[in-house]
Amino acid sequence: MPSRMAALLALALLSSFASAQVKLAATPPMGWNSWNWFAEKVTDKDVRQAADLLVSSGMRDAGYVYVNIDDAWQGTRDEAGNLHSNDKFPDMKALSDYVHSKGLKLGIYSSPGPKTCARFEGSLGHEEQDAQLYASWGIDYLKYDLCSFHNGVMRKEHPGDSPEAMHLQYKMMRDAYEKMHQALLKTGRPIVYSLCQYGFDSVWQWGPEVGANLWRTTGDITPTFDRISLIGREQAGLARYAAPGHWNDPDMLEVGNGKLTLDENHTHMGMWAMLAAPLLAGNNLSQLTPDIKAILTNREILAIDQDTLGKQADRIYAEGPIEIWARPLADGGSALAIFNFGEQRCYLRGISLHLEQAGAFRGWSARDVWAAKELGPIDDSTHFTIPRHGSVILRLSK
């Protein structure tokens, strides 16, 4: 009997461990990241201020809970190999306590290579030590960025572009990501694991195997509509790889950055929500305008992103600059987006909405999400006028 009891106990422990694992990133992670605005200049003070502003702006309560320090926090290693933060971050544990005291979580950044992309200290050869350090600080999220591991390690070890060399390079890359995965598991702390290797080797096909909760599918985003719309459109076909716990990451939000127009900001946010993308705001929260705040905190848009079914949208139709994307939702309905990537206003004349491909049928009704307006029954020929670089997002239900 005692052995049966022990087996039952082990089973109970295992299943509670498994469900704790599933709960990590059960919906796409939301928060703020320092890179898109502060880049290498980020300081402890900026991160504390971002935490304060997430709370005072209402963003935390809308779901933006991760405060992620990107590159440029690292100092040097001491003789024992322990990494220290640099002068801009005098006390990481104190910073972490501060962020946690606001009901938020703290994220950090490193690389499997010797150096990060901004040439700060990477984790190569110190994976376990770094993972333990993060856990001791109370870190909740790690972005692990390939950077110098690519040229400095993979390509050095297996030079050339032959299929054999590439195969071996990519094997090294996967092993490096698995190594940090194991190091994170060993800490016993739930830490969201974010892969950043720009989509190499179709990462969406193997990300979950190395413990990734999310993986970048592209190179870096910039605050221009050309770049944002290209990245968005390139996500076609990736929907099948997203699921609770494992998300495609088309990169952090540029909403509110650069010279994006209001329509472009709406389209960017709406597209990322349709894509079940992680939503990491990348703007300067101390300059949050009411328009940008309304876009970032629109509860109905966020509900699409965070839908518990976890099904990412895919493209169901394209005609020139017009694209229609759809995703099923947990309540049995669907979300449908019509994007106008073109340079002119579009009246959708002659363009069918393809409602059946969106999983919606005759007699279904639509709600215009950004307008917060019930449109009533809808059919394939319902007309919309969509401005240049604009979009319409509909929530469809029986």
| Positions that interact with ligand GLA (CB under 6 A) | 35, 70-71, 116-118, 145, 196, 220
CB 351 within 8 A of CB 316: no
To ligand GLA, the closest distance from the beta carbon of 116 in angstroms equals 6
Nearer to ligand GLA by Cβ, of 200 and 317: the residue is: 200
Nearer to ligand GLA by Cβ, of 109 and 325: the residue is: 109
> Residue type for 57, please?
S
| Token pair 């909405």: residue | 353
Tell me how crowded residue 41 is: count the other CB atoms within 10 A of its CB.
Answer: 10
To ligand GLA, the closest distance from the beta carbon of 71 in angstroms equals 3
Nearer to ligand GLA by Cβ, of 35 and 364: the residue is: 35
Q: How far apart are CA 274 and CA 233, in angstroms?
A: 12
CB 258 within 8 A of CB 242: no
To ligand GLA, the closest distance from the beta carbon of 86 in angstroms equals 14
Nearer to ligand GLA by Cβ, of 232 and 387: the residue is: 232
Nearer to ligand GLA by Cβ, of 121 and 145: the residue is: 145
- CA angle (257, 258, 263) in 5-degree steps: 80
Nearer to ligand GLA by Cβ, of 70 and 121: the residue is: 70
Query: In the structure encoding, which two tokens stand for residue 87, read together?
Result: 């002068």
Q: Closest by alpha carbon to 193, among 210, 170, 205? A: 210
To ligand GLA, the closest distance from the beta carbon of 347 in angstroms equals 38
Nearer to ligand GLA by Cβ, of 224 and 365: the residue is: 224
Q: How far apart are CA 207 and CA 203, in angstroms?
A: 5
Q: How far apart are CA 348 and CA 361, in angstroms?
A: 20
C-alpha distance from residue 174 to each of 7, 212, 271 (Å):
34, 11, 29
Active-site choice (220, 263, 314, 368): 220
The answer to whether residue 46 is catalytic is no
Identify the burial level of 345 via C-beta atoms within 10 angstroms of its C-beta, where 0-12 means exposed, 13-18 middle and 19 or more buried: exposed
Spatial neighbors of 59 by CB under 8 A, at least 6 apart, are 32, 53, 281, 285, 293, 296, 297
374 - beta bridge partners? Answer: 367
Q: How far apart are CA 234 and CA 282, in angstroms?
A: 21
The answer to whether residue 175 is catalytic is no
To ligand GLA, the closest distance from the beta carbon of 216 in angstroms equals 7
Nearer to ligand GLA by Cβ, of 113 and 244: the residue is: 113
C-alpha distance from residue 204 to each of 47, 197, 232, 367 (Å):
30, 11, 16, 32
Query: In the structure encoding, which two tokens stand for residue 83, read together?
Result: 């990494």
To ligand GLA, the closest distance from the beta carbon of 148 in angstroms equals 11
Q: Closest by alpha carbon to 254, among 236, 226, 280, 286? A: 280
Q: How far apart are CA 188 and CA 265, in angstroms?
A: 39
Q: How far apart are CA 311 and CA 244, in angstroms?
A: 8
Active-site choice (70, 71, 140, 145): 145
Catalytic positions are 145, 220
